[in-house]
Every structure is written in structure tokens, then in C-alpha cells.
Structure 1
Amino acid sequence: MKILLSGGGTGGHIYPALALIKRIKQVHPSSEIMYIGTEKGLESKIVRNAAIAFKSIEIQGFKRSLSISNLKTILLFFISIKKSKKIIKDFQPDVVIGTGGYVCAPVIYAASKLKIPTIIHEQNSVAGVTNKFLARYATKIAVCFEEARAEFSRYSDKVSYTGNPRAQEVVGIKPSTILKDYHLAVNQPTVLIFGGSRGARSLNEAFIAALPELNKKKYQVLFATGDVHYERIKKQVEPQIKENLSISVVPYIENMPEVFANVDLVVSRSGATTLAELTALGLPSILVPSPYVTNDHQTKNAESLTKRGAAKMITEDQLTGKSLIKAIDELMLHEEIRNNMAKAAKQLGLPEAADHLIQMIKEIIR
């Protein structure tokens, strides 16, 4: 098989693509893979570092307000369609897959005009603007939340619930001694709190406010501030945790899935990739959706889990040190509640998500 993928802008669009590529190479080692992204996006570094053939196009998103830059966006769109067609003709893929971000628009559109089978993959419960635009041109639409089906109601015959390939990548991870790397004890109840790679100011402030109470708890806490916030927060909290061996504050966690496999509760934002990993591993969580994302999709993602008993949610305007402690204690001090939430999360996980997508690929290229 020859497979062309495109996706960019955020890790949430890139990492599912990489997880799918990894699985394709495992089950079809002779497959040829190519990736189209932008030079300015995260994908240019992440994909190249993964030793995957990479081609770039120049494209940008529309401004939501009236702006002269939107004229440039339109011009770049037509130029990038032309370049995408050339890349596709040269590579001659059997299928083209878009995992989100505006870079996918010219790539999937070009492939459809060249009569190449296409798949768009929507990770969130609320579809992105690019995927809504591409739905009419795509051969198949893969979704990770059942709620997302309604976003493509005009094309319901194309939609399949496949899940996020990232789930299949993490589901086999076993408990380890990784907590030692963070100066915490192994096999002791542990809460992980983080706000994404760059951190989240609201979670950081709530942690600082909750610290006097967290210092008294019997459970451990691993807290990732985000690189940009670390030095400031370290100065604030260091005097309080200097002799407390059950609280560890770090800027960033490199291997998040392995840490997930060794903690009992996660407090985090509700991005699609994080939720795919949590449900694949059957981890209870307290979700604090970011209100600053398009269409408030993180709230919808969190609601998908909370209504099924797989997570608790605290909205950002309700997040305080007291509300954080209360929510954590409700789970960490009541094992039965925590276990029930873990079971509900596990039921939502799709541990064969990548295989579902591979099967979809095979069906449309026959």
C-alpha cells in the first residue's frame, strides 16, 4: 500500500496520524508512507523526527473577522491545491488520509479531484471547520466520539465510529517504575495533574491554592506546570514542598502514556488525544476543559465522558483550590467510586482503533 497522510497545527492532529503510521508499518511492513504538512507547523519537526517522508505546502487558516489576510489565505489555498496535486501524482498513493488542521483542506480536495480515495479523521466530538468543508469530498469519515456523527448528518452513509489510533498505541503499556524518575514512590496511590505541554494557568493557580491541603494527604501528587510557567511556580511552591516526598513538581512529562499507566487519577484538559489515552487505559479523570478552543469542543469532549460516568468535570470558572481538592478527594478517598469510573472509561476505549482505520483503508482501495 502507498498511503499519503496530512494533518497539522496541533499535536492532536499529528499524533493520531503517527500512531496510525506505526500500526500500518507493523501489519504491512512493505507499505510506503508520505506526509504533507506545513513548514511552520509542529508537524514539520515531529514527522521528520519520526523518519517519515515529508513534503510541505504553504497554507494558513482564515481569520474569523474581516481581514485582508483572508485574501492571501484564498490565494494560498489554490496554490497549495496545485502543489498537492503534483505531490499526489508523483507519489501515486492508494489512499489519502487527513487527520485535521487547515493543511488537510487542499490535500484532501486535490486527491478527490484526482479520483483518489480519501478518509478524514475527526478526533473531537465537535467537528473542525476543515473537516466540515471536506466532508462532501471525502470517501469516508472516521469519528472518535459518537456525538460527532451529528456533525456530518448530511453524509451519514460515509461515517464510521473508529476511535483514535493513539488508543491502540498506548493500550499495551504496562505498569513500571517510572514514578521513581519523578522522585515519587512506586505502588503508592498517585494523582497526576497537568494542563498540556504548555500548561494551563487556571490549573496552575488551583494547584498553588490547593497545596496546603495536598501537603496533608496520604496520596502522592505529580504536577506538570508546563515549560513556560515552571520557574515562576517553582519559586512559589518550593518552600512548601521542600521536605514533602509525596509531591513532585516538574515542567513537562516526556512519556505521558507510561506515566498514565502508573497513576490512579488524572486531572487535565480534555483534548481528544488525552481522552483517547485515558479511556484506552481505563483511567478515572477530572477534566477541566479549555474554554479557549474552537467551538468549545473540549467541553463537549468532557461531557461525552461525564454523562457515561467515565469522568468528572470542573468548568474553568468553577475551578478553585477548594473545588480541586474536593473533586480529587471524592475519588482518591473512595476506591469503589474510582474503580467504577475506571470501568466506565475502559468501556469507552477503542483499543483496536488503528486496526479499524486500516480496515477502512482496505475497503475503499479494493
Structure 2
Amino acid sequence: MKVIVTGGGTGGHIYPALALIKEIKRLDPESQCLYIGTKKGLESDIVPRAGIPFQTIEITGFKRKISFENVKTIWRFLAGTKKAKKFIKDFQADVVIGTGGYVAGPVVFAAAKMKIPTMIHEQNSVPGLTNKFLSRYTEKVAVSFADSVQYFPKEKTILTGNPRASEVVQQKTANPLPELGLKENIKTVLVVGGSRGARPINEAFLEALPDIAERKWQYLYVTGSVHYDKVMEEAKKAGSPENVSIQPFIHNMPEVLAHSDLIVTRAGATTLAEITALGLPSILIPSPYVTNNHQEKNAQSLRTSGAAIVRNEQEMNGRLLLEDTDAVLNNETKWKEMHSAALSLATPNAAEHLYDTILNLVKR
């Protein structure tokens, strides 16, 4: 089976795609996969690093205001569709899957027009513009949240969960924390603002940093490459506490998650799939700068079940960050309750479910 996967821009679109490819190769070692992304997106680094054949097209998103840039976007979409058709033809694809982001638009659209079986996967509770558009043309729509079904044609939409969940629960590796300057067998708080970082989380962490040195647990702080240098400067002013490791980016996140005890993060759908699969208690700070405030809606199910503490970024500060962390890690009963609640929301068989759907599409 020859499979083209496309999706990009953020880790939330890329990592589910990679998890799906990994599952396809596990279940069908003879299969061939090609990833189509953009040169400027994170996928241009992450996908080749994973050893997956990679091709690119140029595409941008529409501006919400009337702009000449939208005319350029239409032109790029048409040019990207033409280029995607060539990739699809040369690769002789049996199926094309999109996981979101602007790049998925022309690629999946091209495949649909070529009568190649297509499917899109929506990670968030509220879909983005690209997947809403593609749902008119694709044969199947897979969603991660039951709330998402209402946004797509009912007859072609299935609830599968997020394939990234399958990947993180399969991790059976040595503890990676010593390589990051931390100790084994000490409770670990992972603080991360997503693949590009998050300024409010950075500010809260830096405000808390002088008091973090007094805590009996350790912190792994992933800043995002854009914020790393500034954060390191501030950390040095605070004395660079020994129980803190600051990193610009983590490529082996599933392994790190598997050895963490609490996570402070945004509420991207892929992140939530990872932490529920592992039963990892969380402090969630949804980003208010996303389409239809979907991160707040993503986080709601975890808050309702008791798996997460949810804070809006306007209220978040160093004091509250420490209070919430202490409340979870100082109370073993609370930690276990949050752990069980998170596991109850997990979809660990998502990748296998998607693989079965792909097989059915190809066999039609």
C-alpha cells in the first residue's frame, strides 16, 4: 500500500501524522509512505528527522480581513494543487490522508479530484478552516472528540481518537531525564508551551523560578526555540536552580512524558491525547489565540472529569503556578484521582482504528 500523508504548521498536526505512519509501517511493513508539507513549517525538520520521504509545496492561509494576500493565497492553492497532483501521480498513491494545517488543503483536494481515496483527521473539538473545506470532498472524516462530529457530514464521519495516543503508550525506553540534566526517581514537572512556546507560560515560570529551587521535585522546562535565549538569561539571574532543566525543544517527547508526574501546558488536542493516554495529571492554560477558542473547549472535558486544573492565561502567574503544582504533588490521593480520570478519557487504539479505515478505503 502506498500512502501519502500531509499536515503541517504545528506539532498538533504533524505528530498525529507521524504516529499514523508508524502504525501503518508496524502493521504493514511493505507499505510505502510519503509526507507532503512545506519548507517553512516545523514538518520540514521533524519529518525528515523521522526518516520519512518528504516533499514540499508552497501554501499560506487566508487573512480574515480583505487583503491582496488572499489573492496570492488562491494562486498558491492552485499552484500547490497542480504540484500535489504530480507528487500523487509519480508516487502512485493508493490513499491520501490529511491531518490539518494549510498544506493539507491542496494535497487532499488534488487527490479527491484525481479520484484517489481520501481521509482527513481532525484533532480538535472545533475544526479548522482547512478540514471544514476538505470535508466536502474527502470520503472519510476521522475525529478525536465526539463534539466534533456535528461540524462534518454525519454519513462520512467517524470517532477514532488521536493516533498520537497510541504512540505514547507504546514507549518502553530508558528514562531520558538524566540526559537532560535531571535525576531519576524524583517527581518531575514538565512545563511546555507547545512546539513554538508560549510567552504567558514563560513569564509565569520565570516569576516562580526563585522559589522553585526550594521544591523537592524537579522541573523540565521546554521554552520553544523562539524564547529559549531570553529565558536562559532570566534563569541565570535567578541562580539557575539545580532542580531545573531548560530546553528549547524536545524531540523525544513521548519518552519524556512517560517519565513525568505532572505537566503544565497549553490545551492542544494532540497534547491532550498524549497525556490522557498516559494518565498524566495536568495544569492546562488554553491559548485564547486559536480558531473558535478550541483549546478552551478541548480542556473542558479534562476539567469536568477531574483530570486537569484549567487556568486562563490572564490569571496565570508564578504564585498560582506553584500553588497548583504543590496541590497536586503534595497530595498523593489527588494525584491518583487525576491520573485515573485522565486514563478514563484515553483512546489508545486510535492509530489502529485509523489504519483499519484506510484499508477499507483502499479496498473499495
TM-score range, shorter chain: over 0.9
SS in 1 for 2:190: strand
Alignment of 1:108-257 (within 5 A): 108-152=108-152, 155-174=153-172, 176-238=174-236, 240-242=238-240, 244-257=241-254
Opposite residue 190 of structure 2, the aligned amino acid is L
**Distance 1:162-1:25 versus aligned 2 partners, 3 A rule:** same
Matched, 1:2 2:13: no
Correspondence for 1:314: 311
> Aligned partners of 1:343, 1:159: CA distance in 2, in Å?
29
> Aligned partners of 2:341, 2:255: CA distance in 1, in Å?
21
CA deviation after TM superposition for structure 1 residue 31, in Å: 1.0
* Equivalent position to 1:356, from 348, 353, 356: 353
Opposite residue 57 of structure 2, the aligned amino acid is I
CA deviation after TM superposition for structure 1 residue 245, in Å: 3.4
> Aligned partners of 1:105, 1:60: CA distance in 2, in Å?
10
**Distance 1:180-1:295 versus aligned 2 partners, 3 A rule:** same
> Aligned partners of 2:79, 2:118: CA distance in 1, in Å?
20
CA deviation after TM superposition for structure 1 residue 128, in Å: 0.6
Q: Which moved more, 1:100-109 or 1:116-125?
A: 100-109
CA deviation after TM superposition for structure 1 residue 231, in Å: 3.3
Correspondence for 1:303: 300
Correspondence for 1:285: 282
What is the number of equivalent residue pairs in this alignment?
363
Opposite residue 69 of structure 2, the aligned amino acid is S
Correspondence for 1:260: 257
Opposite residue 164 of structure 1, the aligned amino acid is N
Aligned-pair identity in percent equals 54
CA deviation after TM superposition for structure 1 residue 99, in Å: 0.7
**Distance 1:205-1:160 versus aligned 2 partners, 3 A rule:** same
Query: Any unmatched runs of 5+ in structure 1?
Result: none
> Aligned partners of 1:246, 1:349: CA distance in 2, in Å?
31
> Aligned partners of 1:180, 1:45: CA distance in 2, in Å?
25
> Aligned partners of 1:89, 1:64: CA distance in 2, in Å?
34
Q: Which moved more, 1:88-97 or 1:173-182?
A: 173-182
CA deviation after TM superposition for structure 1 residue 186, in Å: 1.3
- State whether residues 95 and 365 of structure 1, in contact with CA within 8 Å, keep that contact through their aligned partners in structure 2: yes
CA deviation after TM superposition for structure 1 residue 34, in Å: 1.9
- State whether residues 277 and 346 of structure 2, in contact with CA within 8 Å, keep that contact through their aligned partners in structure 1: yes
CA deviation after TM superposition for structure 1 residue 175, in Å: 6.8
> Aligned partners of 1:38, 1:232: CA distance in 2, in Å?
28
**Distance 1:64-1:325 versus aligned 2 partners, 3 A rule:** same
Normalised by the length of structure 1, the TM-score is: 0.92
> Aligned partners of 2:258, 2:348: CA distance in 1, in Å?
15
CA deviations 1:320-361 (Å, max 9, x no partner) are 112112211211111111111111111212112111100001
CA deviation after TM superposition for structure 1 residue 49, in Å: 3.3
Correspondence for 1:86: 86
- State whether residues 215 and 241 of structure 1, in contact with CA within 8 Å, keep that contact through their aligned partners in structure 2: no
Opposite residue 29 of structure 2, the aligned amino acid is P
CA deviations 1:64-114 (Å, max 9, x no partner) are 111112112122222322332333233332211111112111222222222
CA deviation after TM superposition for structure 1 residue 140, in Å: 0.6
SS in 1 for 2:85: helix
Correspondence for 1:14: 14
Correspondence for 2:50: 50
CA deviation after TM superposition for structure 1 residue 241, in Å: 4.2
Normalised by the length of structure 2, the TM-score is: 0.93
CA deviations 1:281-311 (Å, max 9, x no partner) are 1100001112222222222211122122221
SS in 2 for 1:349: coil
Q: Which moved more, 1:106-115 or 1:169-178?
A: 169-178
SS in 2 for 1:78: helix
Q: Which moved more, 1:159-168 or 1:49-58?
A: 49-58
* Equivalent position to 2:339, from 342, 349, 357: 342
